[in-house]
């Protein structure tokens, strides 16, 4: 990594004293020149104390605001050229940080650590994440290897452009990844291995999984509306044609239901076109940064 580039390592943490005790000394040894920012999301334990004793810059939320909110707080308070995000629970190996930074030097704007099958805490989560990867790949038009990985290195100026889009919950990786792809910023993946987390996971599979799914659709509609609206429009058009064919041969007439289905298809297509134009406003100035 170029020595003239400053690096901030941003770690969102809520009740993660055990994980921080494990990873902070390793981070210091791997990237000694990086400034570590720990965002304490109103922890009840000694998270802030452990971080301060390790020489980190600590920013404390007055109340619990969520993982994504902590990421945004860290990014807003960062002053480096490169931002590295990682979890505080010990799952991410700090020794992989140089690999992310080296890949970032190959003219990428974001590099993500992609987990293998063994990197997920359960088969259910691996299956769910694999489904989200495929859905997000369809919505963006790019292959996405790990949509929900929170271990990533990004160029600060690019990442801060999308802070207003990031949700306050656990789905900031989903939103930021899709935003980078759709805006034409190069994204790369490197394989990583993860360890068993220290403490208890705060992600609820059903609740947060449903939220991830909704966010994928929202971001897809925001950045690539026609990939959402065109298939829906085509579906209604196909149904209209089949229904019209059926009523024509059985009753010899064009029914109101056929007309409604055709109109729905056309309106959905037009909504997609308008949405496509509106979405372009979100990344029209990407060449200016």
d(CA 94, CA 5): 19
Determine the distance from the C-alpha atom of residue 117 to the mean position of all C-alpha atoms in its chain, rounded to a whole number: 19
As beta bridge partners, residue 115 has: 192
Q: What CATH number was assigned to the domain covering residues 7-215?
A: 3.90.550.10
Predicted TM-score (pTM) of the model is 0.77
**What is the mean pLDDT of the segment spanning 28-38?**
95
Nearest of 168, 151, 141, 136 to residue 72 by alpha carbon: 168
Question: Is 282 or 5 the better-scoring residue by pLDDT?
Answer: 5
State pLDDT tens for residues 237-257: 999 999 999 999 998 889 999
The C-alpha torsion from 47 through 53 and 55 to 59, rounded to 10°, is 30
Listed by start position, the domains of the chain span: 7-215, 225-288
Categorize the per-residue pLDDT at 10 as very low, low, confident or very high, splitting at 50, 70 and 90: very high
As beta bridge partners, residue 154 has: 83, 110
State pLDDT tens for residues 67-121: 999 999 999 999 999 999 999 988 899 999 999 999 999 999 999 999 875 544 4
Nearest of 90, 35, 80 to residue 58 by alpha carbon: 35
CA atoms within 13 A on the CB side of 35: 17
Residue ranges of alpha helices (H) inside 91-224 are 97-104, 123-140, 156-160, 172-182, 205-223
């Amino acid at each position: 990594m170029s020595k003239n580039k400053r690096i901030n390592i941003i770690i969102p943490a809520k009740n993660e004293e055990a994980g921080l005790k494990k990873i902070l000394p390793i981070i210091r040894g791997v990237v000694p020149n990086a400034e570590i920012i720990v965002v304490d999301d109103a922890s009840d334990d000694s998270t802030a104390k452990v971080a301060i004793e390790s020489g980190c810059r600590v920013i404390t939320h007055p109340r619990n605001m969520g993982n994504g909110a902590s990421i945004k707080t860290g990014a807003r308070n960062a002053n480096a050229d490169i931002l590295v995000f990682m979890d505080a629970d010990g799952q991410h190996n700090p020794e992989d940080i140089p690999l992310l930074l080296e890949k970032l030097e190959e003219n990428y704007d974001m590099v993500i650590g992609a987990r293998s099958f063994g990197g997920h805490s359960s088969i259910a989560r691996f299956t769910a994440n694999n489904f989200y990867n495929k859905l997000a790949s369809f919505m963006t038009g790019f292959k996405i290897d790990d949509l929900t990985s929170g271990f990533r290195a990004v160029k600060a100026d690019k990442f801060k452009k999308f802070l207003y889009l990031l949700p306050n919950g656990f789905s900031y990786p989903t939103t930021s990844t899709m935003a980078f792809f759709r805006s034409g910023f190069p994204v790369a993946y490197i394989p990583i291995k993860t360890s068993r987390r220290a403490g208890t996971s705060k992600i609820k599979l059903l609740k947060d999984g449903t939220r991830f799914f909704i966010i994928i659709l929202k971001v897809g509609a925001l950045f690539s509306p026609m990939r959402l609206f065109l298939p829906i429009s085509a579906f209604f058009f196909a149904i209209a044609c089949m229904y019209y064919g059926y009523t024509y041969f059985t009753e010899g007439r064009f029914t109101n239901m056929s007309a409604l289905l055709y109109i729905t298809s056309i309106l959905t297509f037009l909504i997609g076109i308008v949405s496509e134009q509106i979405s372009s406003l979100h990344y029209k100035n990407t060449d200016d940064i």
